[in-house]
Every structure is written in C-alpha cells, then in structure tokens.
Structure 1
C-alpha cells in the first residue's frame, strides 16, 4: 500500500468519524457550519501531509555543457562533472584520460555536438587560434600561475664580439630552489640560482658566427623543468674604419690606437706636430693621404675620433666637409672635451659643460650604459655635461653626473666625452672597463649600412602548425623575398605604405631559410611545441580568461529557452485553512454551545 493511499484512507475515516460526532451532538445549532469546518480541517491536514505538485512553463538557461581538457588539467577535477561529455585535441591527454573524445580540430565540437551550448575549459586554456576554432561560450576557472619562466627577452641579432644578454622574470610560488642555465654547444655559459619570484639576467659573448641555437634550461635539483631554444644570429663584423685626429701627441690617442689595432679595427691617425704639418699612420690598412680632409677622403671612414682642439684647427673646407659627411652621409663623430671646447660650435651645441668650482680631480666608479656593474675607479675632472632634450647619457658617475652623451646630427651621430684619461684603466690592468667604454662609443657613433629590406616574425612565439605573421619593411613590393624557397603573398599595410605582411603555417621547427634575390636577409626561427611551454601556458591563461569574460554577456542573452517544470504547492495555505477551521470548531464549542 502506497503512502498516498494510506494517508487518504486515514483522512477519510477521520472525516467520517468527526462528522458523525458533530451530528450526534444534542445542540443542532450551526451543525452545517460545523460539518463544513470538519471537512475543511481534515482536507487541509491531508493536503499538508500529501506531496501536492503542479506544472508550469519557465524561461531557463539552456545549460548543456561539455568539458574540454587542456594542458595542466587535473583528473580529480572531472569528478565534479558526471555524465558530461569530455573532449580533448591532444593525443597525450587522451591517454591520460581515456574516456575523453579525441578531436582532430576544436571546431568539431560545435558542428558534431549541436546540443552543447557552452564549454567548461579545464587546465591552462587555449591560445587565440584555438579559441577562434572553438567559437563557443566558455567557462574558465583561472588556475594558479605555474612555477617557471614567466617572461624572457634577449638580443638575438648580434655582431661578432657583442655580449648576449638574457633577461627575464621567474615565478616561484613554492619557494623551491631552481637553477637557470644558459647553455651553448652543451657548455654551460652562465647560470643563476632562483629561490624567490623575481628578475634574472644571464650573459655571455658568443664565440661563433652565423645561425646558432643556445638553450635556456631550468632545473629543480636533478630534474629538468624547462629546456627552451634560444636562437641567435651572429654576424661577422666588417672592420670599422676609424680616423683619429689629434692636436698633439698624447697617451689617450696612443692607447686607443693600440687597442683598436689589436681588436681588428682599421685605424688611421693624423697628429699635428706643428702648424700645417701632420704625422700620419695607417694600421691594418694601406696608407692614404690625410693632409687634406675633403669629402672624398672622409668617405673612407665610419668614425672620426678627435679632441675639440683638433676640430677647431681644421681648415674651413675641411670643417665643412666633416659636417657634411656627418649630417648627410652618416659619418660618426666622437669628440673629446678639452680647453678649446666651445658651446657655440656645431659639434658641441647639444653638450654644454658645467664645472664645479673649488674641486679638483677625484676618483669615481663610472656607470657605462648596458653594463650592470660599475667600473673600477677613474680620476675625473670636476666637469659634467648638462642634459638637453634629444641627447642620451652613455656614461655617468655615482652622482648621476653625465660624462659622455650622444645625439643625432642629421644622418649621423655625435658622441661628446668629458673623459680624457681612460688609458689609466689600461695602465691599471683593467682592460675590461676600457673595452666596454670604447666599444660602446664606437658602436654608438659608427656609420650604419643602409638596409633595403628587413624581414621578421611578429608573432610572439612562432611555432609549428600555428599561424605566423611575416613582416617586411620595404619601399617597394617584396616580390623577391622567399621563405624556404616559397614566395609568401605579402599585402601592403593601408596606413603604413612601407610595411608588408603575410601569413604562413610552418610545417617544421628550426631555422627557416630566407632569400631576397641577390641581397642578404637574416633567416628566421620557428620553435617546437615544447619550447617556452610555461610562458605559452601563462599566455593561454590570460587570453582564455579574457575570452570567457567577453562571451559571458552574449551567452546570457541568447542561450535561454522555455521549459515545462514541476513545482510543489506551498503548504502555508493549507496550514492556514486547517488553523482557521480548528479555531472555528473550538470557539463554537466554547462560546455558542448550550
């Protein structure tokens, strides 16, 4: 016997018994009302006990959900979603969770399972390409950032002899001890221990030229956490041609000439020995006439190094030819301040000097641009360069007083130095600081070769089987540019006419051969799927979270439908009827009975 029949039977018997008792009463006043009250009370009691329901239509969210597994998902998290279809586009994740449906492409979810209206993404999420193919509303619980490299940058295009600098940020939420290694040709070139969140920097000077691949490795004790490719293009340097002009023989120019010649530079010197008489010398090159510095002669050099007195002593045609070569042809000029320096001269107008009265030479450690550590102490004069807009400070002392600055002068560059005794570094055996100082000044000032076309990949981390964007800067259509012997279809930017872009999907990782007819262009590198996984996962977290938030409003507007639902009848109304009927029966028996 079911519960409902039992309740109804008992209530019917209770109703008959209560009605019979009312009928048996001698006082027949209000008998009809008393019987009605008994019927209402017993019926209300039955309705309170019985599960009464009713059906209605209601607008509800169409919440047909699927689960998509991505890198970093936890198998335990799937216990929250029983009887929900699970998908993945990775064969490795299919092995880890065999119940998942393996898809060739994410677009198959929308076309093959039209009943699904949203996807719950587990793990680190998808990149822009994956979200574009999925094209569905997404639910995403942003996971914690994984331990490892969170950002990295390095100067991948180098000249032979230049220092490679690898800088980045490391995420270490658990406080473990990690080691970051920079390796080249299986040799550890630099390393650092990372125990907390923070920045790191590694550096080395590559010994080879051409296309090479170093590795940035993260280890946790004996285990390798990350092993990322670090592609470099190291170009053999064509010797820089330097002309040294001196108003008189001195140690600064003698040491500079020796250092330049020892490092493979082409060096010419012209030193005044009396009025209109010069001593000339050529090192690592054939001698050429230097008596008259006309335009034809100055075209043979990339940099001119001179003291201010030697420049002031130039003949008018020589001075005009030098200024023309700097401003129109890109010749670099490095000027050393001396007693003949004048702020009104064209080469010093951007570098006014300021002297500190009552002070003599003092020893100070200098900060060279691009160097993390300060130099050994050097005696400097109580003079500095006043900063002017458009200049760049290259060397300063501990009080941030500028000692060397540079600026553009037409097509060329001017470098002005208040230091005249850097040879003391060499006398003290400190060749590293001397090399860093003069390498910076010469590289900053040297005449730059004109570049007709340059090709680059503007995708952050180009990898196999992913859309990658090629970019070429060219005044004309780059019809001669080929990538792996194929000619990309470049389209001109509507707003920037010298910018051309093309899309391609690399089928293999490694160096991609770039050709540009007879002209030379650097090859480009495409990473493998396992390179920079931690940084890619952080990027996936960001773009997936942004995508989910942007699509939330669209989902709430369109994913709704009418649905028939069953609702329980509120018991409060039956309780009030029962209470009213019982109250009437009690009052009638107490106050109106005779």
Structure 2
C-alpha cells in the first residue's frame, strides 16, 4: 500500500503564492513572538493553540487530499454479518489487499468509474449480493467463499412438475451441527427420512407423488421447518396391467389393488384348476386387449401373453420367486434374459427392515441392466423390459400400516420397468421470482407456442433431440403460476437465502468462472479529503478557546 498526499491549492499563480507566503510569515512571526514572551502564565498553551490555529488555516487554504493505492489483482467483497476473524483469515491466506462491503464498493465505483477496469479477481464472501453490483463485474474472474450457518440448507432441488405415481426426489446439501433427523412430511405423516451426521451432508429423500393437482409437503430438520416443497402432479396416461397368477396369492392381489388405486387398469388372471382360470378387472368392465405391463411369477414366464408383450417392446415384472437359482434359469430360457445370481447369505431370508425381507441372493451386474439402489430389484432391457424382484412378501407392510415403504418400493419398481412417457415437462424447483428458470418439454408436437405465466413463448429445439424443447423464463409473480394449458408451477419469494444463493450461482458458476484474467499489475486508488466546513469548524473552535483561555 502506498499513501500519497496532494493539495487542491494550486501554486501556478502569483496571487496564490503571495497568499501562502503571507500566511506562513504571519504564523511564524506570531509563534516566535509568543515564544519570547514567557513572562505570562501558560505561555506553552498559547503557543500550542496558535500553532494549531495557523495549521488549520493552512489546511483550509491548501485542502490536502490523501490517496491510498493498493494491489487490486484480488479484492474481497463480503456480507456485513461475516465474522471479522473469517475475513482476516481469508485476506491473509489468499493475500488479498483490499476488502469492501457491497455498499462500499458500489459507492467507490460511482465516485470513480475507472476503478472497474483496475479490478482483477473478485472473491465473494457470503451469498447476499444484489444484481446491481454483480452486473457491473461480469467480465471479472469470480471465486466464491461460502459462509454457512449451522443447520442451513446449502442447496436443494426437486421436480416442479411430475406425473402421478412417479417418484419425487428432494436432494441437496445441509450443514448439520449434530446427529439429527431430516424428514419429509405431509402433516404428521413422514414420507421419507434420513439420520444426519455432523458436518456437510448430501441428502436424497424419495416418495411417490399420488395426489393429482397442486401438492405440498415440508422438509423438517428435527422440529425446525427448513423448506416447504411445492409441486404440481399431472395425471399419467392410463396404463393397462395384467396380473398372471399360477395360484391365488395375497402378494399379487395386494399389488393389483394398489395399482388400481393409482389409476391403472388391472386385469387379474388366476389359475384355479387345470384348464380353468378366474378373471377379475379393476377400473374397467371389459377385457383388456393390449397390456403395457404383465406382473407374473417364474412358472408363467413362458406364457404366450408374456412373450407377446415383450414382442411389442413392452414390460414384464416377475415376482414371488422361491428357488431363485432354478427359476432364473427358467426365465432366461423362456425370455432370452441374462439373469445371474450369487448367494449372499446362508440364512433363509435377509432382513431389510421391519416386515420386509428378501431372498439371500444378489443380482449380478449386466450391461443392459438397471438395479434399484435400496431394494434387490433390477430391470433388463433388450426387446422390451423385464424386471426381477428378489423381495419376499411385501403385503405385511400394508397390514402393519407402513404404506410409505410399500408405496416407495412399488413406485420405484414401476418407474424402472415402465418406459418414460413420450410427453413430459421438466421444471427444476425451487423456482424464484425474477430469477431465470429453464423449462423443458418433451413433446411430439412441433412449432407450438407455449403459454407460461402471462406470456406466450416460442420454444427453442434441442440440437440432440428434436422432440425436446426448452426456454428460459423469468416469473414476475409469486405463488402458483400457469404453465401450458392445464399445469401450474409454484414460484417462491426471491428474498430468502436460497434465492440469493441461486442468483449468485448464475454469476459464479461452480465456484470458479471460466473467464481468465491476465497476470498484470493492477491497483486502485482510494482518495479522501476533509471537508472545507470541517476546517472552518476547527478554526472557529480554536479561536473560541483562545478567547476563553485568558479568563481561566
């Protein structure tokens, strides 16, 4: 840092030079005269006061300015609530010469616009920064120094729009100060939960969306509400399911009833005697001619209806295995699959949770295979999709009242075994007012304008997939806002911490910008001066003291 002192008083005219010399001579003469007259009391005070008076007069005439120049290759902008110890640590460890609050830097730029060109790398400490400042520093290299509070969300994401029956995934990061429970709730019902350890923790909570229309749940940390979760649920095009039973069993019947309650058309065929089958329908009064999914057991894997569904590039789910090694060979031979199992335990069953067990086998990985993370269920895709479940009976979960786990098991299974819908909408939530949000639509229709909020948009088409359209949109109102013809998306207030964080990430990216700054010497000069009124006040004050002093 370099400190320079300059004067606004110009010595380029004869009159200014004469004035300055006259003041200096008068001041020196008076000080010398007072110094010789030591007979009067308190002469030292008189000399001091007169010296200060003439210095003040000189200051008022010369108007000194103080210019402090410092290295600006790196500057730090910080929130006012950041602890001083944190700021000092960052400045020392990163060798940052200058630091400003947002208000200070804006004021400095307004007073000295040329400063912007002299700023190199910008370090941001905190999250609460307004676009007014960030927009002025767009061409700089950014580095972000997060300053988090305990038990605060670092990030969060969920689907703003999804189909009924699909899995809603709420994921993010949180700084937990102790071991505690993070949970998703509707009222007092827990949809999913996770035991957090102390520290910065990634979380991923999952539950099936079964309420059509505008839905809401809440994210809780212990007894503290962290974030309301708003999302819209679309009705999925009706799927037709055939449940083939070699014998009547409660597991298949419970699953069929569950799918019926979720809007599926279900037909149940049960072999009750040789050449005799019992037929029963749910959500339809007529026999179903074409099926999207067949749920059956290994003994019926070679059934003609099963092969026909796979030939139509549709799906089969095989449950109720009892002798996995033998039954997977039968399935592979009948359907051309490549299931391979290894025994994982000598026990008859593996306990996964209360009222839920699985066969003591593991499904080996395969190139064309996708496995569920939490359960021993996998799907192979060649022509059509074939799902295999190693779970034992799951209906005891329903009998014990644990419908949340039951829903999660079969919703995630159906999501994996059934193909994606040809028409889908993707909106990453939370969506904040006045912050751009990307909306994606996978559609068969082309060249159709979108109705979003109060505007009509012309979407862009993805270069990778002509059916994938997208557009960035900035909502201007909070609450539920219209999306397309019959949907809605919930828009949050942009004053909350997560909104500031999302706005900041638009500028900073993943903590570091791709922009590169040349390694050159940059410096900024901070200039300050005393107001002429301050000099006047000081002169009047000293004159008053000189007048009062003889009366002491």
Do the two structures share a fold, i.e. TM-score over 0.5? yes
Q: Per-residue CA shift, 1:121-164, capped at 9, x if unaligned?
A: 77436589954433465797946444421232335545556675
SS of residue matched to 1:441: helix
Q: Is contact 2:431-2:490 (8 Å) kept?
A: no
Taking the aligned partners of 1:135 and 1:536, their CA distance within structure 2 comes to: 16
Aligned residue for 2:113? 113
Query: Normalised by the size of structure 1, how large is the TM-score?
Result: 0.56
Aligned residue for 1:363? 349
Q: Per-residue CA shift, 1:369-413, capped at 9, x if unaligned?
A: xxxxx3535474x6654432221234888xxxx5x3212244x42
Taking the aligned partners of 2:263 and 2:297, their CA distance within structure 1 comes to: 23
Taking the aligned partners of 1:171 and 1:313, their CA distance within structure 2 comes to: 54
Taking the aligned partners of 1:124 and 1:416, their CA distance within structure 2 comes to: 49
Deviation, structure 1 residue 506: 2.8
Aligned residue for 2:153? 149
Choose 1 or 2 for highest CA Rg: 1
Q: Per-residue CA shift, 1:26-65, capped at 9, x if unaligned?
A: xxxxxxxxxxxxxxxxxxxxxxxxxxxxxxxxxx989689
Aligned residue for 1:334? 318
The 5 Å alignment of 1:162-311 reads: 166-171=170-175, 175=177, 196-199=198-201, 200=203, 208-216=211-219, 228-236=227-235, 240-257=239-256, 260=259, 265-274=264-273, 276-288=275-287, 297-299=288-290, 301-311=291-301
Aligned residue for 2:15? none
Taking the aligned partners of 1:192 and 1:418, their CA distance within structure 2 comes to: 25
- Quick check: 1:349 aligned with 2:348? no
Deviation, structure 1 residue 305: 1.3
Deviation, structure 1 residue 186: 11
Taking the aligned partners of 2:392 and 2:426, their CA distance within structure 1 comes to: 41
Aligned residue for 2:49? none
Q: Is contact 1:64-1:116 (8 Å) kept?
A: no
- Quick check: 1:321 aligned with 2:282? no
Q: Is contact 1:334-1:441 (8 Å) kept?
A: no
Taking the aligned partners of 1:74 and 1:553, their CA distance within structure 2 comes to: 30
Provide structure 2 residue ranges, at least 5 long, that are not aligned to the other structure.
Answer: 1-23, 26-67, 92-97, 526-552
Q: Is contact 1:213-1:231 (8 Å) kept?
A: yes
Query: Normalised by the size of structure 2, how large is the TM-score?
Result: 0.60
Taking the aligned partners of 2:404 and 2:143, their CA distance within structure 1 comes to: 53
Deviation, structure 1 residue 349: 1.8
- Quick check: 1:414 aligned with 2:383? no
Provide structure 1 residue ranges, at least 5 long, that are not aligned to the other structure.
Answer: 3-59, 94-98, 104-108, 289-296, 367-373, 562-594
Q: 1:527 to 1:229 in 2, by over 3 A?
A: farther
Question: RMSD over aligned Cα, in angstroms?
Answer: 5.4
- Quick check: 1:506 aligned with 2:475? yes
- Quick check: 1:529 aligned with 2:495? yes
Q: Is contact 1:472-1:500 (8 Å) kept?
A: yes
Aligned residue for 1:376? 355
Deviation, structure 1 residue 281: 2.1
